[in-house]
Amino acid sequence: MENKIEYLLTGMYGLFTDPVTKIGGEKNSYHLPTYQALKGITESIYWKPTFVWVIDKVRIMKKIQTESKNVKPLLMDGQYGTNRHDLSIYTYLRDVEYQVQAHFEWNMIREDLAIDRNEDKHFQIAMRMLEKGGRRDIFLGARECQGYVEPCRFGKNGGHYDSEDELTYGLQFHSFEYPSESGIEKLSARFWQAKVKGGIIEFPRPEKCPHKREIRPMDYEIVPVNLEEVMD
């Protein structure tokens, strides 16, 4: 399959949270990376509106560890229009390492970009960008959690949870459903029953998530692009 990439994702810290219920204050990371976070990381490696990244599975390489930190987030005081600092405790994942497998599929909403549907071209560019560490900065769920990517072979080397049978984590956030990919002018959040088997998380496809919550209406308008730039 020439639209599949595999990469090693590492970082000192990670903060994977449920953005639907995160309204400020204290933040506590999931023990597992979310589909949406991994999709954003993969898009930071290489992305164009011609296609959509689909995360197939992720392998947990190191022991799941957490670390709490006292932080002073900057808040906007709406009454006086001034900034002020708050006091909070954030609980991060510490010393994270994952193997990720993903592939891209054409964004059928963008019929105007059908001329750019060249699988080999996008695969070759994605591999070159992966070897360089990505086109954009990599973040593990939050801006303060710097991450790094490099090519790898999924399943190579031993992982900490390889011998574990099955670990279940209950209902967790999966991903957002954006109008730019669904064609529906609504922003929705998807949820699934998260589980790890033999250290591997196999995500359901976004459209097969068992639970979905509509957040709000969202307009979507296709912005014309310069086809000469897209074809580069």
Residue 208 belongs to domain with CATH number: 3.30.70.2660
Domain that includes residue 210, residue range: 4-230
Q: How many CB atoms lie within 10 A of CB 101?
A: 20
User: From CA 201, how far away is CA 41, in angstroms rounded?
Assistant: 17
pLDDT digits (tens, 9 = 90+) for 89-121: 889 999 999 999 999 999 999 998 999 999 999
Q: Total domain count for the chain?
A: 1
User: From CA 130, how far away is CA 76, in angstroms rounded?
Assistant: 38
In the chain, what percentage of residues exceed pLDDT 70?
87
pLDDT tier for residue 224 given thresholds of 50, 70 and 90: low
222: closest CA among 187, 189, 175, 178?
178
For the cut 80, the answer to whether the pLDDT of residue 175 exceeds it is yes
Note the pLDDT of residue 228.
Answer: 60
User: From CA 106, how far away is CA 108, in angstroms rounded?
Assistant: 6
Q: Which residue has the tokens 């080397």?
A: 157
User: From CA 182, how far away is CA 11, in angstroms rounded?
Assistant: 32
- Strand 82-85 to 74-77 pairing: antiparallel
Six token digits for residue 61: 């390489």
47: closest CA among 98, 100, 107?
107
pLDDT digits (tens, 9 = 90+) for 116-168: 999 999 999 999 999 999 999 999 998 999 999 999 999 999 999 999 989 99
User: From CA 217, how far away is CA 4, in angstroms rounded?
Assistant: 33
Chain-centre distance for alpha carbon 130? 16
Q: What is the mean pLDDT of residues 59-80?
A: 82
Q: State the sign of the Cα–Cα–Cα–Cα dihedral 202, 97, 60, 18.
A: negative
Q: At what angle do helices 119-131 and 35-45 cross, to 10 degrees?
A: 90
For the cut 70, the answer to whether the pLDDT of residue 213 exceeds it is yes
Residue 36 phi/psi, 5° resolution?
Answer: -65, -40
Q: Quick check: 60 and 163 in contact, CB under 8 A? A: no
Q: Quick check: 46 and 126 in contact, CB under 8 A? A: yes
User: From CA 203, how far away is CA 143, in angstroms rounded?
Assistant: 24
In the chain, what percentage of residues exceed pLDDT 90?
70
pLDDT tier for residue 86 given thresholds of 50, 70 and 90: confident
